[in-house]
RNA sequence: GGAGAGAUGGCAGAGCGGUUGAAUGCACCGCACUCGAAAUGCGGCAUAGGGGCAACUCUAUCGGGGGUUCGAAUCCCUCUCUCUCCGCCA
């Protein structure tokens, strides 16, 4: 969420940033006009309240001195103000809400170094800080080569028997899957492997959060009010709870309404949770296989930092996510999303796209975003800078997948498939598979 | 699910209709004392929004929201959460 004061002071920068976003038509002048009305109401209301308070004090004093006549006189005086104050308060509430509603649907502003573009065709490949295509190619696993035509994940022998879309459809409808046997185990192994990696090598604290959350939490991270149709809700008493679309929601909200000490930062959290998305806008896309499901597992990374550290933390988080793929020997590339392709709360986003030989293409497996104070402002998440008597400042928040477990399963299956329908197990995963070196063999 | 109690500043904890943004203690910061530290003493120490070049000033906030009142941390309604007891339960 934007700070209206910032918009007031930087209307041109705001308008320029918004013009680069997709489907955003808001103008700073509209917002400033609301703010103008808001401030006028506040001035009038404050004046009336000041008078009332002053009179009320005098009434108290008069009563203390048993001067009832004087008290009655003052009460008559203040009665006239009473006509305005409740109306003024209601008006202030209304205009505050109007401003908040307007601000809460405005997406974040991209950093200056984010490429400008309308859609994913404007994304730019990223090779790491000070990186080049050559250095990146050295550091990242190479594309595998096959002596046969590689299949898509759901066509591979071991998956055909252990990845059941038909029975899932009978239970739950389309975009669900039932995993069985060694494929289910492989999914579990991947999740454990990723959590262990992030907690032991990158200092993330493991979290097991609720997967049902309130509207407030979703508002905090930016899914509400604008993206309600992407979520699943379940009734709960008079209210409702949402199934989390990502563990970013509960983990980022761990610091909501908190004032942290600077010494506590950065906070780094990781969780393996199921995620639930209605995929309302994705009808007809990726309908085969388990690439796009209503329910999938994901290991998520969340960092809470100072403003100064946020950009460094972004690179660090990207590296943590990349390390998953490096250790698994999966070829990938990293894209910097352009202004038109970025998510609502992000100031800059890197997507990691893993190579899927069966599809003969790269597919997103991780998205790593730095959000600045956008979410912190919505959540009232602050920290007190070290040193004496500093006012609290908003924290900066980051989130990234580390990585999507279901998609990683697909990637392992497609990249390690053998002609006989079996799949080799990457070395890093073998301890999590009871030492197995392959699954689905005869 | 039933019955009851509660939610106050970073923490603990008073206040229960009048000049209370809020006693007191702890924590924290500054100063004094000290060779230094501890102890002690003195002072400071919430957040947000307005107005003002500034000094400064006004308003709001005692879990959230609404109400009663000239005036609410204090009274009423409502929501959320916590605790105790009973019931149920993986």
Tokens standing for residue A294 = 């209503």
Sort A83 into a burial class: Cβ within 10 Å, 0-12 / 13-18 / 19+. Answer: exposed
Closest CA to A401 of A289, A229, A279, A251: A251
Distance CA(A276)–CA(A168), nearest Å, equals 15
pLDDT at A367: 97
Distance CA(A360)–CA(A22), nearest Å, equals 29
pLDDT at A76: 84
User: Which stretches of chain A drop beneath a pLDDT of 70?
Assistant: 387-389
Q: Which nucleotides of B are covered by protein (CB under 7 A)?
A: 10, 18-19, 29-30, 45-51, 58-60, 66-68, 70-71, 79-80
- Catalytic member of A279, A309, A364, A380: A364
pLDDT at A388: 56
Residue labelled with tokens 């392992």: A412
pLDDT at A345: 95
Tokens standing for residue A118 = 């309308």
Neighbours of A302 (CB within 10 A): 29
Neighbours of A106 (CB within 10 A): 20
Q: List residues bridging with A393 in a β-sheet.
A: A383
pLDDT at A356: 97
Sort A307 into a burial class: Cβ within 10 Å, 0-12 / 13-18 / 19+. Answer: middle
Distance CA(A356)–CA(A198), nearest Å, equals 24
Q: How far is the CA of A184 from the C1' of B86 (A)?
A: 44
pLDDT at A393: 87
pLDDT at A28: 94
pLDDT at A357: 97
Q: What is the pTM of this model?
A: 0.93
pLDDT at A69: 84
pLDDT at A260: 85
pLDDT at A387: 67
Closest residue to B64 (CA to C1') is A216
pLDDT at A389: 60
The answer to whether A237 CB is within 7 Å of strand B is yes
């Amino acid at each position: 969420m934007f700070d209206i004061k910032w918009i007031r002071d930087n209307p041109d920068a705001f308008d320029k940033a918004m013009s680069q976003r997709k489907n955003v038509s808001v103008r700073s002048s509209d917002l400033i006009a609301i703010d103008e009305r808001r401030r006028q109401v506040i001035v009038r209301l404050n004046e009336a309240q000041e008078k009332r308070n002053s009179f009320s004090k005098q009434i108290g004093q008069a009563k203390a001195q048993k001067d009832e006549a004087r008290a009655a006189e003052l009460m008559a005086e203040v009665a006239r103000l009473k006509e305005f104050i409740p109306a003024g308060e209601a008006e202030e509430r209304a205009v505050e809400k109007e401003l908040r509603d307007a601000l809460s649907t405005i997406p974040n502003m991209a950093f200056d170094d984010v490429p400008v573009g309308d859609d994913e065709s404007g994304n730019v490949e990223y090779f790491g800080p000070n990186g080049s295509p050559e250095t990146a190619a050295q550091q990242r696993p190479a594309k595998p080569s096959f002596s046969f035509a590689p299949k898509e994940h759901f066509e591979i022998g071991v998956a055909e028997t252990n990845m059941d879309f038909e029975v899932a459809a009978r239970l739950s409808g389309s975009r669900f899957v039932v995993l069985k046997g060694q494929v289910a185990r492989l999914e579990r192994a991947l999740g454990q492997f990723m959590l262990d990696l992030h907690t032991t090598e990158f200092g993330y604290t493991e979290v097991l959060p609720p997967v049902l959350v309130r509207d407030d939490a979703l508002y905090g991270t930016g899914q509400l009010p604008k993206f309600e149709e992407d979520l699943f809700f379940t009734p709960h008493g008079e209210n409702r709870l949402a199934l989390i679309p990502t563990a970013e929601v509960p983990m980022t909200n761990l610091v909501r309404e908190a004032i942290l000490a600077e010494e506590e930062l950065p906070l780094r959290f990781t969780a393996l949770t199921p995620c639930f998305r209605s995929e309302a806008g994705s009808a007809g896309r990726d309908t085969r296989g388990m690439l796009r499901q209503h329910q999938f597992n994901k290991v998520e990374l969340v960092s809470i930092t100072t403003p100064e550290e946020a950009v460094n933390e972004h690179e660090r988080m990207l590296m943590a996510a990349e390390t998953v793929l490096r250790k698994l020997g999966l070829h990938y590339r990293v894209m910097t999303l352009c202004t038109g392709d970025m998510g609502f709360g992000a100031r800059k986003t890197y997507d990691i796209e893993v190579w899927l030989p069966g599809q003969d293409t790269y597919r997103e497996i991780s998205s790593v975003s730095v959000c600045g104070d956008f979410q912190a402002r919505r959540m009232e998440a602050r920290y007190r800078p070290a040193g004496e008597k500093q006012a609290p400042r908003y924290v900066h928040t980051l989130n990234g997948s580390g990585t999507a477990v279901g998609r990683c399963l697909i990637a392992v299956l497609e990249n390690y498939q053998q002609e006989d329908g079996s799949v080799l197990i990457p070395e890093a995963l073998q301890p999590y598979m009871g030492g197995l070196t392959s699954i689905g063999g005869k």
